[in-house]
Structure formats: structure tokens, C-alpha cells
Chains A and B, each alone.
Chain A
Amino acid sequence: FQGYLDHEQFNQLEELQDDANPNFVEEVVTLYYRDSARLVHSIEQALEKSPIDFNKLDSYMHQFRGSSSSIGAKKVKAECSLFREYCRAGNGEGCMRTFQQVKKEYTALRKKLETFFQLARQAGPVDRARRPK
């Protein structure tokens, strides 16, 4: 997870997990991917329109950035910030390019998290402390 996750933030999620909610982290991450899939789709559609509605794009990206930062998705969040700068500058090309990066980071993180949860399920709660890097 080197560089992909903000460990303080992700730790926070792990600390919220307890006997009453033993799968809290996985639930939140699943919720994130579900909600953000919708946003990704909306952003893609908005980027295809002509002329581009930068305000709308910025608003979608604000949401995306917000929930990404809640789960500690550091790289995704950084690309989102960059995207918003292009939005504010009204730079459609820049937006499209950056969005490819956003999707790349987002997908890469998803794969890492899926592996993490698979391992966690196999190992049981005691080994959760050892996170694959």
C-alpha cells in the first residue's frame, strides 16, 4: 500500500471496527467503490458533452475527492485535486488527461484493497495488524 493509502486515515477506519461491526472497513470500502462508480460514470458523461460544464464537473469531483479522502485514498485524492485545478482553469484537455490518471489510481487501489481483504479473511482478526505493503 506504499503511497496509495494515508495510513492515519485508514488506521482510523480499522479502529472503528469492533466486535459489533467486524467487517466495518470492508463495508465502508465497498460503499466507497459503489458510490464512486456512479460518480466516475457521471464525470465521464460530463466530459463527453460539448461544451463542458466545468461547474458540474468540479462539483462531482469535489464529492469524489471527499469520499476518497475519508478512506485514505491518497493518490486518488491528489489526482482529484489536480483535476479540479484544470476545471477551474476551464481546461478540458487537462481534465480528460487527469481523469485517466484518477481512474488508473482508483483501479489500482481497488485491486490492492481486494487482496488485503482476501488475506485478512484468511488470516483472521489477529493478523490484521500486518498489512501487505
Chain B
Amino acid sequence: MNLVLRFQTRPLSIGRSSAFITSSEQQPTTPQQFKGLKIVLADDDNVNRTVTKKLLEKLGCEVTAVASGFECLSTLSSENSVRVVILDLQMPEMDGFEVASRIRKFRSRNWPFIIALTASAEDNIWERCLQLGMNGVIRKPVLLQGMAEELRRVLQVAG
């Protein structure tokens, strides 16, 4: 007597499975293209901060994530190799505009680079940010592609 065992194998969806993500599939950006880039991320919302931090780490960045403008400023004063500051504009207590003004008061225009994060659709946000010496703006909710492009653009300015 023969015993036949039939196995039903499900097709492996390698392309879509998170464990096998290939950079060519959905992200034209190469992972790790910003390897070692030191960033301070300031966002008071836990969910947003967690997601944005992971996104930046996926791009190879070294991220210090803080929840307030105050913490952001104190991190910067103790670490001077931070290249980019990513700031949520709408934070309670001290908003992103205030933080940026204070950073620019004591440091040069291009160190660190400052990129604003905002959910606002107002036209003059970019202008306001520029006036305060910020270098870039990213609209929320943040997507990997958008972040990578803005980082690339801002960093290229310095050459």
C-alpha cells in the first residue's frame, strides 16, 4: 500500500514579504545611502517620532530622537557632530520656529542643516522657514521617498 502525502505549498511572495525587501522593488532609494549621517529628530508625538526615526535609520542615519524643543537644543549643545536637525514645527512649549531661531543664533547657516516637518498646507510655510534660516521642509505624513529626496537636496547644497 502506498501512502501518498500531498503538500500544498503556498507561493512565496518574496517581492512583497517584509523579510525579503529588496531596494529595487518599491524604493528607488538605496538603503544606507546616508550611512552614518548624524541627525537629531524632534517631534512631541510618540507615534510620529517612532515612525520617522525608523525611517531615517532605514536610510542609514544615526538618529537621536527627542520629544521637545528644549531637549533638542540641549542635545545639540552637547554633541557638535550633528549634521541635520529634523524638527516638527507644531510642538507645544517651544515650536520648531523657535528652536530654529535659537540654533541659527549661535551657529552658522549650514551647520547643522535644519529640515522642518509640518502637517500644514499653508503656502507661506516654506518662506517662513527660509527666513528663519531653515534649509528644507517635509510635509507630514512622512514617506521614505520624500525624506530621502529632501535630505539629498539639502545635503547637496553644501557640495
Contacts and interface: CB of A to CB of B under 8 A. Distances in A.
A109 to B, nearest CB: 14
B19 A18 contact: yes
A110 interface: no
B46 interface: yes
Contacts of B92: 59
Contacts of A16: 51, 54-55, 58, 144
Contacts of B50: 27-28, 31
The listed residue with most A CB atoms (<10 A of its CB), out of B16, B18, B90, B92, is: B18
Contact of A70 (B19, B141, B144): B141
Interface string B21-35: 100001100000000
Nearest to A129: B16
B17 A66 contact: no
B101 interface: no
A31 B54 contact: no
A70 B51 contact: yes
A18 B47 contact: no
B144 A15 contact: yes
The listed residue with most A CB atoms (<10 A of its CB), out of B21, B27, B50, is: B50
A64 to B, nearest CB: 10
B102 to A, nearest CB: 23
A8 B51 CA distance: 14
Contact of B119 (A35, A59, A69, A72): A69
A122 interface: no
B21 A15 contact: yes
Contact of A128 (B18, B55, B58, B90): B18
A51 B143 CA distance: 40
Contact of A63 (B26, B45, B144): B45
Given A15-B18, A24-B54, A126 B13 contact: yes
B54 to A, nearest CB: 5
Interface string A64-82: 0111011110000000000
Given A15-B21, A62-B90, A125-B17, A21 B54 contact: yes
A91 interface: no
Contacts of A59: 92
Contacts of A28: 47, 50-51
* Cβ-closest 10 pairs across A and B: A129-B16, A67-B47, A129-B13, A17-B18, A16-B54, A69-B141, A32-B47, A125-B19, A70-B48, A70-B141
